[in-house]
Structure 1
Amino acid sequence: MDLNLSDEQKLLRESAERFVAESYDADHRRKMTNDPLGFSPHVWEQFAELGWLALPIPEEFGGLSGGPIEIGILMEAFGRGLVCEPYVATVVLGAALIERCGSTAQKQASLPKIADGSMKLAFAHSERAARFDLAKIVTSATKSANGWRLTGSKIAVLDGHAADEIIVSAHLHDHHGPSGRIGLFLVPATASGLAISDYPRLGGGRACNIELSDLHLSEDALLGDGNDALPAIEWAVDRAMAALGAEAVGIMQTLLDTTLEYTKIRKQFGRPLSANQVIRHRLADMAIQLDEARSMALRAALKADSAPVERARAASAAKAKIGRCARFVGEQSIQLHGGMGVTEELEVGAYFKRLVAFDTLFGGTAHHYSRHAELGRSTASA
């Protein structure tokens, strides 16, 4: 298998790294941390102009038909700059779910707007009692005479405060299919009966909790024809984990580069820290963990369109392994910076916080080790 990047992919990597290096400095990140929106609308417009928002969208809907590898290249560059724009929520999750589940009319209405930056999305699925089980939700959608009535609550909705529309999952209660089906609904952010309470995320960006109180929607708010959306949700979340793994690799690379440079200029007893053999061993261990994480992120991207079990095992393996590697690299970086490593002024702390947040998103390391093992047992028994 040839794992070398194509010329187009190399150009994407170079342009993304250059844009992030020029646009995301420490001052910009501090400004976004204190901004109530959590990201820059101007930068979002630039994302659209560069074609990044259209990257995975099919060409017939105004996109570029890119795949998980291209998304991973972009996300790794985003990790280097701690980018906070709602790319995962809108493009990796939102656009993917509309493409997978939506009717042709729904795709034509939404995907071109995502590609040109005029529509931002969020995906509201997680609930308090679910514990990362994607099949466990209690939010309900009851069929009414002229549409649907939604009731329930969602937590940890990435960038839901900034979304124009929120994709909400709910159990369908109607007479046109088997019970227990999960449907996806496009809910306008201004809908009556929708309450949003947002808060800052660890490591930058914002998330929110939402309450659905007898929220009424038209019939066409349901994505697709009402078939069970759980397989599509699992598919989209696995792709999101692969993308977030690539972002974590970019963060780890920055931490390694920053720590290596610091140990070269920081002197102790008249010698740079990098002259100490123990320090060199620790830097080598960081580099090994980074390479292992990069390999797992690439594997998850390569398996993103494989059979469901194979795809899910690759995604969970990447999430678990990268989570462990990320914590090691982050902790080593902070320790090797000494007392400064725990100060707010030094950026290694901000990068480490984003890695801690990554380890929790869509399930932590322990959860995905268990999921990986369970999927392996189901394959063996079959």
Structure 2
Amino acid sequence: MLADAARGFLDEAAPVGKLRAMRDAGQTHDPDLWQQMARMGWAGVLVPEEAGGADMGHAAANVLAGEMGRSLSVSPFLSTAVIAATALRQVADERAKTALASIAGGTRTYALAVDEGAKHDPEASQLRAERVGNGFRLTGGKRFVIDGGFADRLLVLARTDAGLTLFDIPADRAGIARSAQRMIDGRDAAQIAFHGVEATGDDVLGQVDGAMSVLVPALRAGQAALAAEMAGLAAGAFGITVEYLKERKQFGAPIGSFQALQHRAAHLWCECEVTASAILHAGRVLDESPGDAGLAVSLAKARATQTAQLAVQEGVQMHGGNGMTDAFDMGFYMKRARVGAEWLGDYGYHAGVVARLRGF
């Protein structure tokens, strides 16, 4: 029911054609769409009821993410409603509750600033948080900060004296320089420089030197939701490909009647179904036993990355020469699949996690 309701709304309010219009206008985000999502309760899907949220759990968040992937909807859902909300839920203080209420109300957006190198590797963060009196001074840089060009606040991972610390700071604080960039999928990312940014103890999310107790659950939630979005993307690409196979004629017959193309379409459908099962499993484990979700989440992200890549490649191939033109929407799916593959860990990263957790 949730998927049907989300699909009906997104087909009308945020179809692929809207992404095309945003790209042509140079627009990387849609504040009005986010407000509509917030009014429907999507921004608070992981926010406790006492903070004004729906608290529907990760399985439900993944359903919403999957439908957004199907129509390539542009919103800060993953960075704000999933990653930031999950991080804030790990901290039981009034400041976190206030922030969660702001997320649920659609009045505050977040971006996650953790990566500094070419690949996802939070524990390698070198941005320095030097102690100065009762506070800190942040110096360094972050890259590939999704939604970082417009977010109200930043979750910043920094190296402190004995480990890593997560800070929750306003994006417009003195010393922060944001360089917004439009990615190949038309969405926003940013490189962010921290020039002696002052932070207090109140800006620390969780404990000093204890970032991972807050960050790991948030990353897993984000990775699972991103996997769900990519699975939805694969389903969307598969759907428009099948429609094209039914419509396009060659030698007087629909090309979908050719057995070779039927075999390829059947194989892709099977891959989409298996990946959908992995997504459902990851959401269930996150809801029931989040501390044990690492294997399920990484399996889902690895499979979704692989399936999305197969779906867009087959989509381009089965569209023939048309698949390479901007007039067809398949290129938008391919570009989003490429960005999604890299964010929060690529196939190799998650395959490595799966291997380690299985004892290889």
Q: TM-score, normalized by length of structure 2?
A: 0.95
Query: Which of the numbers 337, 346, 350 marks the counterpart of 1:355?
Result: 337
For residues 366 and 162 of structure 1, the distance between their equivalents in structure 2, rounded to whole angstroms, comes to 30
> Does the CA contact (< 8 Å) of 2:57 and 2:287 recur in 1?
no
- TM-superposed CA distance for 1:146, in Å, is 4.1
Q: Which runs of 4+ in 1 moved over 6 A?
A: none
Q: Displacement of 1:133 after TM fit?
A: 2.4
CA RMSD of aligned residues (A): 1.7
Q: Show the counterpart of 1:7.
A: none
- How far 1:132 moved relative to its partner? 2.2
State whether structure 2 residue 198 is matched by structure 1 residue 209: no
Q: Which residue of 2 aligns with 1:83?
A: 73
Query: Aligned pair count?
Result: 360
Contact 1:149 1:215 in 2 (8 A): yes
- In the alignment, the residues of structure 1 paired with residue 69 and residue 347 of structure 2 have an alpha-carbon distance, to the nearest angstrom, of 20
Equivalent of 1:169 in 147, 157, 160: 157
1:121 Cα offset (Å)? 0.8
Match among 126, 129, 138 for residue 150 of structure 1: 138
| In 2: Cα distance, 1:111 partner to 1:274 partner | 49
Identity %: 31
- Distance in 2 (CA, whole Å) between partners of 1:282 and 1:193 is 53
Distance (Å, rounded) in 2 between the aligned partners of 1:153 and 1:116: 30
Q: Which residue of 1 aligns with 2:174?
A: 192
How far apart in 1 are the matches of 2:171 and 2:280? 35
1:212-251 pair list within 5 angstroms: 212-226=194-208, 228-251=210-233
Corresponding residue for residue 298 of structure 2? 316
Contact kept in structure 2, 1:98 and 1:106, CA below 8 Å: no
Q: Is 1:132 aligned to residue 120 of structure 2?
A: yes
Give 1:353 shift: 1.3
Q: Deviations for 1:41-81, whole angstroms, at most 9, x for unmatched residues?
A: 11111111111111110111111111111001101110111
Asked if the contact 2:177–2:192 (Cα under 8 Å) also holds between the matched residues in 1, the reply is: yes
| Equivalent-residue separation in structure 2 for 1:309 and 1:148 (angstroms) | 30
Kindly indicate whether the alpha-carbon contact (under 8 Å) linking 1:313 and 1:375 is maintained by their aligned counterparts in 2.
yes
Gaps of 5+ in 2: none
Shift of 1:337: 0.3
* Paired position in structure 2 for 1:332: 314
Q: CA deviation at 1:19?
A: 0.6
- Distance across 2 between alignment mates of 1:194 and 1:169: 14
Q: Which amino acid aligns with 2:93?
A: T
Q: How does 1:215-294 map onto structure 2 within 5 Å?
A: 215-226=197-208, 228-294=210-276
Amino acid paired to 1:136: A
8 Å CA contact retained: 2:28, 2:188: yes
1:106 match = 95
Post-superposition shift, 1:35?
A: 4.7
Separation in 2 of the partners of 1:236 and 1:196?
23
Deviation track 1:317-338 (CA, whole Å, cap 9, x = no partner) reads 1111222222112111110000
1:62-108 deviation digits (Å, cap 9, x = unpaired) = 111111110011011101110111111111111211121x3412123
SS state at 1:328 partner: helix
Q: TM-score, normalised by structure 1?
A: 0.90
> 1: distance between equivalents of 2:89 and 2:182?
29
Residue type of the alignment partner of 1:337:
H
Partner of 1:365: 347
C-alpha displacement of 1:203: 2.1
Contact 2:7 2:67 in 1 (8 A): yes
Give, in angstroms, the shift of residue 231 of structure 1.
3.2
The reply on whether 1:45 has 2:35 as its aligned counterpart is: yes
Shift of 1:37: 4.9
Is contact 2:231-2:307 (8 Å) kept?
Answer: no
**3-state DSSP of counterpart to 1:213:** strand
Secondary structure of the corresponding residue to residue 197 of structure 2: strand
